Amino acid sequence: MRASFDINSSTGIYRVSLGEGLVQEVTASDAHRIFIVDRHLLPQVAFVSDPIIAVDASEANKSLERIAPIIEALKHHGATRETEIVAVGGGIIQDIATFVASIYMRGLRWHYCPTTLLGMVDSCIGGKSSINVGALKNLVGNFHPPASILIDLAFVHSLSPEQQTSGLMESVKICYARGAEAFADYLALRPTAPLQTDTAFAIIEQSLTTKKWFIEVDEFDQAERLLLNFGHTFGHAVESATHFAIPHGIAVGVGILMAYKYAEVASLLSPAGEERARRLVDHVQALLQPLRHTLAPLIRIDAEVLLKHFESDKKHSQSHYRVIVPVEDGELQRLSVPRSAIIQALICNAFALGAGIAVRGGI
Ligand SMILES: NC(=O)c1ccc[n+]([C@@H]2O[C@H](COP(=O)([O-])OP(=O)(O)OC[C@H]3O[C@@H](n4cnc5c(N)ncnc54)[C@H](O)[C@@H]3O)[C@@H](O)[C@H]2O)c1
Protein backbone atom coordinates (compact mmCIF):
# COMPACT_ATOMS: atom_id res chain seq x y z
CA MET A 1 0.00 0.00 0.00
CA ARG A 2 1.61 3.21 -1.14
CA ALA A 3 0.37 6.52 -2.55
CA SER A 4 1.85 9.94 -3.14
CA PHE A 5 0.75 13.26 -4.52
CA ASP A 6 2.01 16.83 -4.63
CA ILE A 7 0.66 20.00 -3.03
CA ASN A 8 1.24 23.35 -4.74
CA SER A 9 1.97 26.13 -2.27
CA SER A 10 3.32 29.68 -2.46
CA THR A 11 6.70 28.42 -1.29
CA GLY A 12 6.87 25.58 -3.80
CA ILE A 13 5.61 22.06 -4.34
CA TYR A 14 5.78 19.53 -1.52
CA ARG A 15 5.18 15.81 -1.69
CA VAL A 16 2.85 13.79 0.51
CA SER A 17 3.70 10.08 0.75
CA LEU A 18 1.47 7.53 2.41
CA GLY A 19 2.50 3.96 3.23
CA GLU A 20 4.37 1.78 5.68
CA GLY A 21 7.95 2.16 6.95
CA LEU A 22 8.20 5.79 5.79
CA VAL A 23 9.69 7.23 8.98
CA GLN A 24 12.89 5.26 8.31
CA GLU A 25 13.14 6.77 4.79
CA VAL A 26 13.44 10.31 6.11
CA THR A 27 16.91 9.52 7.47
CA ALA A 28 18.23 8.35 4.07
CA SER A 29 19.65 11.74 2.95
CA ASP A 30 22.95 13.14 4.26
CA ALA A 31 21.39 16.45 5.40
CA HIS A 32 22.12 17.72 8.91
CA ARG A 33 18.91 16.84 10.75
CA ILE A 34 17.42 17.49 14.16
CA PHE A 35 14.27 15.64 15.20
CA ILE A 36 11.46 17.17 17.26
CA VAL A 37 9.54 14.19 18.62
CA ASP A 38 6.52 13.64 20.85
CA ARG A 39 8.21 12.20 24.00
CA HIS A 40 5.56 9.48 24.14
CA LEU A 41 6.77 8.17 20.74
CA LEU A 42 10.50 7.99 21.47
CA PRO A 43 10.48 4.15 21.38
CA GLN A 44 9.05 4.30 17.83
CA VAL A 45 12.03 6.37 16.62
CA ALA A 46 14.70 4.36 18.46
CA PHE A 47 16.55 3.83 15.11
CA VAL A 48 17.29 7.59 14.80
CA SER A 49 20.94 8.57 15.32
CA ASP A 50 20.38 12.33 14.78
CA PRO A 51 19.83 14.64 17.79
CA ILE A 52 16.28 14.46 19.16
CA ILE A 53 14.43 17.20 21.03
CA ALA A 54 11.67 15.37 22.94
CA VAL A 55 8.55 17.39 23.76
CA ASP A 56 5.46 16.38 25.73
CA ALA A 57 2.37 16.79 23.52
CA SER A 58 0.50 19.20 25.79
CA GLU A 59 -1.39 22.41 25.01
CA ALA A 60 0.88 24.14 27.55
CA ASN A 61 3.91 23.20 25.46
CA LYS A 62 2.57 24.65 22.19
CA SER A 63 2.62 28.11 23.71
CA LEU A 64 4.65 31.18 22.88
CA GLU A 65 6.24 30.93 26.33
CA ARG A 66 7.62 27.39 25.67
CA ILE A 67 8.97 28.06 22.14
CA ALA A 68 12.19 29.76 23.31
CA PRO A 69 13.64 26.65 25.07
CA ILE A 70 13.09 24.62 21.88
CA ILE A 71 14.92 27.25 19.84
CA GLU A 72 17.75 27.17 22.39
CA ALA A 73 17.87 23.36 22.10
CA LEU A 74 18.19 23.65 18.28
CA LYS A 75 21.12 26.03 18.73
CA HIS A 76 22.65 23.71 21.33
CA HIS A 77 22.51 20.86 18.76
CA GLY A 78 24.32 23.04 16.21
CA ALA A 79 21.41 23.96 13.92
CA THR A 80 22.41 26.24 11.05
CA ARG A 81 20.42 27.51 8.06
CA GLU A 82 21.18 24.20 6.28
CA THR A 83 19.72 22.07 9.09
CA GLU A 84 16.46 20.24 8.37
CA ILE A 85 13.94 19.63 11.12
CA VAL A 86 12.03 16.34 11.19
CA ALA A 87 8.86 16.49 13.29
CA VAL A 88 7.30 13.25 14.54
CA GLY A 89 4.02 13.61 16.41
CA GLY A 90 0.44 14.82 16.28
CA GLY A 91 -1.01 18.31 15.81
CA ILE A 92 0.77 19.72 18.85
CA ILE A 93 4.23 18.72 17.64
CA GLN A 94 3.27 19.90 14.15
CA ASP A 95 2.24 23.35 15.40
CA ILE A 96 5.47 23.67 17.40
CA ALA A 97 7.68 22.44 14.53
CA THR A 98 6.00 24.64 11.90
CA PHE A 99 6.42 27.72 14.06
CA VAL A 100 9.98 26.98 15.17
CA ALA A 101 11.09 26.03 11.62
CA SER A 102 9.58 29.26 10.28
CA ILE A 103 11.46 31.58 12.63
CA TYR A 104 14.79 29.87 13.46
CA MET A 105 17.38 31.92 11.54
CA ARG A 106 14.41 33.19 9.44
CA GLY A 107 13.37 29.75 8.32
CA LEU A 108 14.53 26.12 7.99
CA ARG A 109 13.32 23.29 5.76
CA TRP A 110 11.34 20.73 7.68
CA HIS A 111 9.71 17.34 7.16
CA TYR A 112 6.66 16.07 8.96
CA CYS A 113 5.66 12.54 10.01
CA PRO A 114 2.14 12.91 11.47
CA THR A 115 1.35 10.26 14.08
CA THR A 116 -2.29 10.97 14.99
CA LEU A 117 -5.12 10.32 12.57
CA LEU A 118 -6.07 14.00 12.94
CA GLY A 119 -2.61 14.97 11.70
CA MET A 120 -2.71 12.38 8.90
CA VAL A 121 -6.15 13.21 7.46
CA ASP A 122 -6.09 16.97 7.90
CA SER A 123 -3.54 19.17 9.62
CA CYS A 124 -0.39 17.77 7.94
CA ILE A 125 -1.13 19.69 4.72
CA GLY A 126 -1.79 23.39 4.50
CA GLY A 127 1.31 24.67 6.28
CA LYS A 128 -0.40 26.44 9.18
CA SER A 129 0.90 26.85 12.71
CA SER A 130 -1.30 27.79 15.66
CA ILE A 131 0.32 28.67 18.97
CA ASN A 132 -1.31 29.39 22.32
CA VAL A 133 -0.59 32.52 24.33
CA GLY A 134 -1.27 31.75 27.99
CA ALA A 135 -4.81 30.41 28.15
CA LEU A 136 -5.68 31.85 24.72
CA LYS A 137 -5.72 28.92 22.31
CA ASN A 138 -4.24 29.20 18.80
CA LEU A 139 -4.01 32.99 19.04
CA VAL A 140 -0.81 33.43 17.03
CA GLY A 141 0.62 31.56 14.09
CA ASN A 142 1.85 31.67 10.53
CA PHE A 143 2.25 29.64 7.32
CA HIS A 144 5.42 27.60 6.69
CA PRO A 145 4.71 24.45 4.66
CA PRO A 146 7.00 21.45 5.15
CA ALA A 147 9.39 20.19 2.44
CA SER A 148 7.75 16.76 2.61
CA ILE A 149 5.14 14.79 4.52
CA LEU A 150 5.61 11.11 5.29
CA ILE A 151 2.54 9.35 6.62
CA ASP A 152 3.51 6.05 8.16
CA LEU A 153 0.47 3.83 8.75
CA ALA A 154 2.29 2.01 11.56
CA PHE A 155 1.37 4.92 13.85
CA VAL A 156 -2.38 4.39 13.35
CA HIS A 157 -2.38 1.17 15.35
CA SER A 158 -1.08 2.58 18.63
CA LEU A 159 -3.90 5.17 18.67
CA SER A 160 -6.89 4.50 20.90
CA PRO A 161 -10.36 4.27 19.30
CA GLU A 162 -11.08 7.72 20.80
CA GLN A 163 -7.96 9.20 19.15
CA GLN A 164 -8.95 7.59 15.84
CA THR A 165 -12.49 8.99 16.13
CA SER A 166 -10.97 12.42 16.74
CA GLY A 167 -9.25 12.16 13.35
CA LEU A 168 -12.37 10.84 11.63
CA MET A 169 -14.26 13.99 12.67
CA GLU A 170 -11.83 16.17 10.70
CA SER A 171 -12.14 13.78 7.79
CA VAL A 172 -15.98 14.00 7.81
CA LYS A 173 -15.71 17.77 8.01
CA ILE A 174 -13.42 18.03 4.96
CA CYS A 175 -15.48 15.66 2.82
CA TYR A 176 -18.85 17.19 3.76
CA ALA A 177 -17.48 20.70 3.09
CA ARG A 178 -16.41 19.71 -0.44
CA GLY A 179 -19.91 18.61 -1.46
CA ALA A 180 -22.36 15.73 -1.76
CA GLU A 181 -20.14 13.54 -3.94
CA ALA A 182 -17.05 13.75 -1.71
CA PHE A 183 -19.21 13.06 1.35
CA ALA A 184 -20.83 10.00 -0.30
CA ASP A 185 -17.34 8.71 -1.28
CA TYR A 186 -16.23 9.14 2.32
CA LEU A 187 -19.26 7.30 3.76
CA ALA A 188 -18.70 4.46 1.26
CA LEU A 189 -15.40 3.74 3.07
CA ARG A 190 -17.47 2.84 6.19
CA PRO A 191 -15.30 4.87 8.57
CA THR A 192 -15.41 3.74 12.18
CA ALA A 193 -12.90 3.11 14.96
CA PRO A 194 -10.90 0.92 15.39
CA LEU A 195 -9.59 1.19 11.84
CA GLN A 196 -8.07 -1.61 9.76
CA THR A 197 -4.91 -0.60 7.85
CA ASP A 198 -6.57 -0.64 4.41
CA THR A 199 -9.53 1.48 5.61
CA ALA A 200 -7.17 3.94 7.30
CA PHE A 201 -5.15 4.17 4.06
CA ALA A 202 -8.28 4.88 1.98
CA ILE A 203 -9.68 7.46 4.43
CA ILE A 204 -6.37 9.34 4.71
CA GLU A 205 -5.97 9.41 0.90
CA GLN A 206 -9.59 10.53 0.37
CA SER A 207 -9.38 13.28 3.02
CA LEU A 208 -6.06 14.70 1.91
CA THR A 209 -6.85 14.72 -1.81
CA THR A 210 -10.13 16.47 -0.94
CA LYS A 211 -8.41 19.00 1.33
CA LYS A 212 -5.77 19.57 -1.39
CA TRP A 213 -8.46 21.33 -3.46
CA PHE A 214 -9.24 23.80 -0.65
CA ILE A 215 -5.65 24.72 0.14
CA GLU A 216 -4.60 25.09 -3.47
CA VAL A 217 -7.49 27.40 -4.45
CA ASP A 218 -7.24 29.40 -1.22
CA GLU A 219 -3.91 28.85 0.54
CA PHE A 220 -4.24 31.84 2.87
CA ASP A 221 -7.75 31.31 4.24
CA GLN A 222 -9.60 34.07 2.41
CA ALA A 223 -12.64 32.22 1.03
CA GLU A 224 -13.10 28.48 0.21
CA ARG A 225 -10.63 27.22 2.83
CA LEU A 226 -12.57 29.01 5.57
CA LEU A 227 -15.28 26.34 5.17
CA LEU A 228 -12.86 23.89 6.78
CA ASN A 229 -13.56 25.71 10.04
CA PHE A 230 -16.92 23.91 10.03
CA GLY A 231 -17.56 22.61 13.57
CA HIS A 232 -14.59 24.56 14.92
CA THR A 233 -16.21 27.80 16.15
CA PHE A 234 -18.63 25.79 18.31
CA GLY A 235 -16.00 23.09 18.91
CA HIS A 236 -13.36 25.48 20.30
CA ALA A 237 -15.94 26.71 22.82
CA VAL A 238 -16.58 23.09 23.86
CA GLU A 239 -12.84 22.40 24.14
CA SER A 240 -11.98 25.45 26.22
CA ALA A 241 -15.12 25.38 28.43
CA THR A 242 -14.28 21.77 29.38
CA HIS A 243 -10.61 22.73 30.01
CA PHE A 244 -9.61 20.41 27.13
CA ALA A 245 -11.19 17.34 28.82
CA ILE A 246 -12.88 16.83 25.44
CA PRO A 247 -10.13 16.37 22.81
CA HIS A 248 -9.98 18.62 19.76
CA GLY A 249 -11.41 16.27 17.12
CA ILE A 250 -14.22 15.06 19.39
CA ALA A 251 -15.07 18.71 20.17
CA VAL A 252 -15.22 19.36 16.41
CA GLY A 253 -17.73 16.49 16.11
CA VAL A 254 -19.87 18.07 18.85
CA GLY A 255 -19.39 21.44 17.12
CA ILE A 256 -20.76 19.96 13.87
CA LEU A 257 -23.90 18.85 15.75
CA MET A 258 -24.23 22.34 17.28
CA ALA A 259 -23.80 24.01 13.86
CA TYR A 260 -26.55 21.74 12.52
CA LYS A 261 -28.80 22.69 15.44
CA TYR A 262 -28.07 26.37 14.77
CA ALA A 263 -29.20 25.91 11.14
CA GLU A 264 -32.32 24.17 12.43
CA VAL A 265 -33.32 26.77 15.06
CA ALA A 266 -32.57 29.61 12.61
CA SER A 267 -34.69 27.83 9.91
CA LEU A 268 -31.85 27.88 7.38
CA LEU A 269 -32.40 24.44 5.79
CA SER A 270 -34.80 23.39 3.02
CA PRO A 271 -36.40 19.90 3.38
CA ALA A 272 -33.78 18.51 0.94
CA GLY A 273 -31.00 20.20 2.89
CA GLU A 274 -32.42 18.85 6.14
CA GLU A 275 -32.24 15.33 4.72
CA ARG A 276 -28.65 15.77 3.53
CA ALA A 277 -27.50 17.32 6.83
CA ARG A 278 -29.25 14.50 8.73
CA ARG A 279 -26.95 11.95 7.02
CA LEU A 280 -24.01 13.93 8.41
CA VAL A 281 -25.59 14.13 11.87
CA ASP A 282 -26.36 10.38 11.89
CA HIS A 283 -22.76 9.57 11.01
CA VAL A 284 -21.25 11.95 13.60
CA GLN A 285 -23.58 10.60 16.29
CA ALA A 286 -22.65 7.02 15.42
CA LEU A 287 -18.95 7.90 15.78
CA LEU A 288 -19.58 9.65 19.12
CA GLN A 289 -21.84 6.95 20.52
CA PRO A 290 -19.06 4.87 22.20
CA LEU A 291 -17.61 8.04 23.75
CA ARG A 292 -20.51 9.03 25.99
CA HIS A 293 -18.24 8.98 29.09
CA THR A 294 -15.84 11.48 27.45
CA LEU A 295 -18.76 13.74 26.54
CA ALA A 296 -20.47 13.61 29.95
CA PRO A 297 -18.87 16.91 31.24
CA LEU A 298 -20.69 18.73 28.43
CA ILE A 299 -24.10 18.36 30.02
CA ARG A 300 -22.99 20.21 33.16
CA ILE A 301 -21.84 23.29 31.23
CA ASP A 302 -24.18 26.21 31.02
CA ALA A 303 -24.89 27.53 27.49
CA GLU A 304 -24.00 31.05 28.73
CA VAL A 305 -20.54 29.80 29.72
CA LEU A 306 -20.11 28.21 26.28
CA LEU A 307 -21.17 31.52 24.71
CA LYS A 308 -18.38 33.34 26.59
CA HIS A 309 -15.81 30.93 25.15
CA PHE A 310 -17.47 31.09 21.71
CA GLU A 311 -17.13 34.88 21.73
CA SER A 312 -13.35 34.80 22.08
CA ASP A 313 -12.90 32.92 18.78
CA LYS A 314 -10.56 34.85 16.49
CA LYS A 315 -12.83 34.37 13.47
CA HIS A 316 -15.46 36.85 14.75
CA SER A 317 -15.33 40.59 14.10
CA GLN A 318 -16.14 43.36 16.60
CA SER A 319 -19.73 43.56 15.40
CA HIS A 320 -20.44 40.11 13.90
CA TYR A 321 -20.06 36.42 14.72
CA ARG A 322 -18.83 34.13 11.95
CA VAL A 323 -20.54 30.74 11.84
CA ILE A 324 -20.25 27.98 9.26
CA VAL A 325 -23.49 26.08 8.93
CA PRO A 326 -25.39 23.95 6.43
CA VAL A 327 -27.96 26.10 4.62
CA GLU A 328 -30.73 25.57 2.05
CA ASP A 329 -29.87 22.30 0.27
CA GLY A 330 -27.27 21.36 2.90
CA GLU A 331 -24.22 23.12 1.36
CA LEU A 332 -22.00 24.83 3.91
CA GLN A 333 -21.97 28.59 4.05
CA ARG A 334 -19.98 31.04 6.17
CA LEU A 335 -22.47 33.44 7.72
CA SER A 336 -21.74 36.77 9.30
CA VAL A 337 -24.42 37.39 11.94
CA PRO A 338 -24.74 40.42 14.23
CA ARG A 339 -23.75 40.12 17.90
CA SER A 340 -27.36 40.75 18.93
CA ALA A 341 -29.39 39.32 21.83
CA ILE A 342 -31.55 37.36 19.33
CA ILE A 343 -28.52 35.70 17.71
CA GLN A 344 -26.98 34.98 21.13
CA ALA A 345 -30.22 33.23 22.14
CA LEU A 346 -30.06 31.12 18.94
CA ILE A 347 -26.43 30.21 19.64
CA CYS A 348 -27.23 29.23 23.26
CA ASN A 349 -30.11 27.14 21.97
CA ALA A 350 -27.82 25.41 19.47
CA PHE A 351 -25.30 24.73 22.27
CA ALA A 352 -27.91 23.09 24.50
CA LEU A 353 -29.59 21.08 21.72
CA GLY A 354 -26.27 20.04 20.12
CA ALA A 355 -24.82 18.93 23.48
CA GLY A 356 -28.02 16.97 24.13
CA ILE A 357 -27.87 14.99 20.88
CA ALA A 358 -24.12 14.44 21.34
CA VAL A 359 -24.49 12.97 24.82
CA ARG A 360 -27.91 11.31 24.71
CA GLY A 361 -28.31 10.57 20.98
CA GLY A 362 -31.63 11.18 19.24
CA ILE A 363 -32.23 14.25 17.12
N1 LIG B 1 -1.91 23.57 12.47
C2 LIG B 1 -3.01 22.99 12.07
O3 LIG B 1 -3.33 23.04 10.87
C4 LIG B 1 -3.88 22.26 13.03
C5 LIG B 1 -5.07 21.69 12.59
C6 LIG B 1 -5.84 20.96 13.48
C7 LIG B 1 -5.43 20.85 14.82
N8 LIG B 1 -4.28 21.47 15.23
C9 LIG B 1 -3.87 21.36 16.64
O10 LIG B 1 -3.45 20.03 16.89
C11 LIG B 1 -3.64 19.72 18.27
C12 LIG B 1 -4.32 18.39 18.39
O13 LIG B 1 -3.48 17.48 17.75
P14 LIG B 1 -3.72 15.90 17.69
O15 LIG B 1 -5.11 15.59 18.06
O16 LIG B 1 -3.15 15.48 16.39
O17 LIG B 1 -2.83 15.28 18.81
P18 LIG B 1 -1.79 15.71 19.89
O19 LIG B 1 -0.52 16.11 19.26
O20 LIG B 1 -2.46 16.65 20.82
O21 LIG B 1 -1.60 14.32 20.65
C22 LIG B 1 -2.68 13.75 21.38
C23 LIG B 1 -2.17 12.57 22.21
O24 LIG B 1 -1.87 11.47 21.36
C25 LIG B 1 -0.57 10.96 21.63
N26 LIG B 1 -0.09 10.35 20.39
C27 LIG B 1 0.37 10.94 19.27
N28 LIG B 1 0.62 10.02 18.32
C29 LIG B 1 0.32 8.81 18.85
C30 LIG B 1 0.37 7.47 18.38
N31 LIG B 1 0.72 7.15 17.12
N32 LIG B 1 -0.02 6.47 19.21
C33 LIG B 1 -0.44 6.73 20.48
N34 LIG B 1 -0.51 7.99 20.99
C35 LIG B 1 -0.14 9.01 20.18
C36 LIG B 1 0.19 12.17 22.13
O37 LIG B 1 1.31 11.81 22.89
C38 LIG B 1 -0.88 12.87 22.96
O39 LIG B 1 -0.98 12.27 24.24
C40 LIG B 1 -4.46 20.85 18.85
O41 LIG B 1 -3.61 21.69 19.60
C42 LIG B 1 -4.98 21.59 17.63
O43 LIG B 1 -5.19 22.97 17.87
C44 LIG B 1 -3.49 22.13 14.36
* 35-51 pLDDT, tens digit each: 999 999 999 999 999 99
Instruction: Label residue 312 by pLDDT band (50, 70, 90).
Output: confident
Task: Tell me what the mean pLDDT of segment 20-49 comes to.
Answer: 93
Arithmetic mean of pLDDT over the chain? 95
CA 116–ligand 1 middle distance (angstroms):
6
40 lines ligand 1 (CB under 6 A): yes
Q: Where do the structural domains in the chain lie, given as residue ranges?
A: 3-158, 230-360
344 lines ligand 1 (CB under 6 A): no
Are 127 and 145 in contact by the 8 Å Cβ rule? The answer is yes
Instruction: Label residue 308 by pLDDT band (50, 70, 90).
Output: very high
Q: Which candidate, 149, 176, 154, places its Cα nearest to that of 260? A: 176
Sequence-distant (≥ 6) Cβ neighbours of residue 252 within 8 angstroms: 169, 170, 173, 231, 232, 235
Decide if pLDDT at 23 tops 90.
no
200 lines ligand 1 (CB under 6 A): no
Decide if pLDDT at 27 tops 90.
no
Task: Give the model's pLDDT for residue 145.
Answer: 94
Evaluate whether 3-158 and 230-360 have a shared fold: no
Instruction: Label residue 138 by pLDDT band (50, 70, 90).
Output: confident
CA 224–ligand 1 middle distance (angstroms):
25
166 lines ligand 1 (CB under 6 A): yes
Task: Tell me what the mean pLDDT of segment 328-344 comes to.
Answer: 97
What type of residue is 7?
Answer: I
Q: What stretches of 148-270 show up as alpha helix (H) in DSSP? A: 161-178, 180-188, 197-217, 232-241, 248-265
Q: Which fold has domain 230-360?
A: Dehydroquinate synthase-like, alpha domain (1.20.1090)
CA 114–ligand 1 middle distance (angstroms):
9
What's the CATH code, domain 3-158?
3.40.50.1970
Q: Which candidate, 133, 163, 140, 168, places its Cα nearest to that of 59? A: 133
Are 108 and 84 in contact by the 8 Å Cβ rule? The answer is yes
Q: Which candidate, 151, 141, 122, places its Cα nearest to that of 229? A: 122
Task: Give the model's pLDDT for residue 354.
Answer: 97
Task: Give the model's pLDDT for residue 29.
Answer: 86
